[in-house]
Structure 1
Amino acid sequence: MSILCFAENPGGANGIIALAMQGENTHIIAEGSAVKYIQDHGIILSDGVPDQVSAIVVGASHSHDSGSFEYILRAKEQGIPSFSYVDACVNTEFRFKGHTDDPLHYAPDFLFVTEMATEKSYINLGFDASRIYIVGNPRYDFVVDRVEGLTKQSAPHKTVLFLADPVVPTIGADYKNSGFNTQSAEDVRSFVLLETLFSKLKNHKIIIKLHPRNHADEFAAYKNNATIYQGDGLGIDLAFQVDMVIGTTTSLLAESALVGVPTIAALLTPQERQWLPHILPDNLIVSTDGNHLGRAIEAIMDDGYARHYPSNKEGLCKKAGVKMLDIIKQHCMIEAR
């Protein structure tokens, strides 16, 4: 059996990476930010598209011009099963819409989703419930396995890793009741939170890890007070070595908490909670208030604070890659009959 896989962003690529690591015959095509992301995991991309495969799997994005649509249509033309991995319950109505009015216009035969909330969202859009599989988040399995071979290095100073968002104006009227000071000259979520961090972490080292869509010069104002990081490698390797991770809604927050790193999701409004996974590691601190964030930082940076794994760790790690491959094999056998 051979599987053709396609991804164009890191979120969708996580499902493809999980499949590739199962040792099956996979041909992986990537575009955009998924190219480097997949290669950073040591996976070799295919030079071209094979003529015959048993199934096609794509990582969903919310682009109206997603390259995944071409592969879903290819599967239908060839009469082979198509699958899409949806990494989060965000923008579900745009994942398969394209430039049409139908949110399922380019939908595949089957969906792999990480949690029940995403399943419910697609059922509400009209997708057949019997064709949706809740497999868990394959990224959780990956990071837990990854850190088994890592040891936290000692350092003379405590270090905080801040996970930056793309620098876009996102603060408007909806943020007037925010628990943070949103009256800064530049209405950027990361800048608002960095103001709070610098006031609370004057004697600690701060690393600002840039988002793939960030440019270092956008954070030039902070280079005298922080290390700007836009390097190669996996984010979890960096996060594992620091004393605290702070961000907004990036997936690396849940991953860091899952492997025991003290982690805070700092949200400018309670409504931003919907952008996080609905089921989180229970040691992840969610803060929607600057004062609460300050107290959480002080507690974590205290010398007596110890790392600890979430009590729901086992429930979050579901061997999603194994499940996806088993399901694909089952449907390929059905199609072959």
Structure 2
Amino acid sequence: MPDLMRAVVLDGPGGPDALKIREVPRPVARPGWVLVKVHAFGLNRSELHFRRGLGSFGSFPRIPGIEATGVVVEAPGGEFDAGSQVAALMGGMGRTFDGGYAEYVTVPASNVVPFTSHLDWAILGAVPEMLQTANGSLTVGVNAARGSSLLIRGGTSSIGMALVVLAKRRGITVLATTRNSTKAQALLDAGADHAIIDTGSIAKEVREIFPDGVGGAVELVGTPTLHDTLRATAVHGAVCFTGMLSDEWTVPDFYPIDYIPNGVRLTAYSGGAQDLPGAVLQEFLDAVATGEVRVPIGKVYPFEDIVQAHQDMEDVSVTGKLVVTLGGQSDVP
């Protein structure tokens, strides 16, 4: 009889209560893949989309979760030593093969990023996908340079907060938005230079700060605000479409010449583990350990509270990253 583990199983689309904790066979490592004992995992909006059955990716039944942090149990191909701390993310994880909402997960070695840290697993679990998406949006999507300006549309999301931190570390002037005036201070506390209350139309307000428009922008809300974000951006500036907090990701009757202002570039980012180099992850974690950087954690849940965690994500009732832990602290002495 195979060894068993606890996992969150989604039999098909549904509400938060469609997530069921069950005992299932523990996965077995095979060459080219890595078996990881999961200590924590972050929640992501794309997992909400998957649970709802939105989009055309993935299959059911499935253990969801596009990221996880933990320690290597086995890597038959020799890519990692047993006991190594690692982050596993993306590449079909939690969609086309079982993901991180479990006590153990197997992932392709190419989806695994090693690190060494004394930080608590709750902090480590918050970082991988958030940092990968923020770093990829800044570097691949916008190509933001030191001394430039950046608009983050949807700043109080976990990725938005991570973008604030990364952009400020790169010497960029940051404007970040929130629809909720009570959350504006959180943006300023994270390092944003300007917190803008998002009424749906903020281009004029942005241009009162930067008359020629911002040098770049990351769109995390989705298509309802994309047109306005483009109008807030300078000629030769780039707008990177990264997130869909609004759950809307298509533009009806899209006519580029009318939609995109002259000379403004529209890009997108939906990368994977390759956009989170080990050195970038390690530098970030080291900066957190010294107190130079703060991880924007909104709330930490025990594994048994996965339904409540998804409900909070759906209600957008928490500012910052939601993290689920399976107990324990860093395995590094």
Q: TM-score, normalised by structure 1?
A: 0.30
Q: Which has the larger radius of gyration?
A: 1
More helix by share: 1
More strand by share: 2
Q: TM-score, normalised by structure 2?
A: 0.31
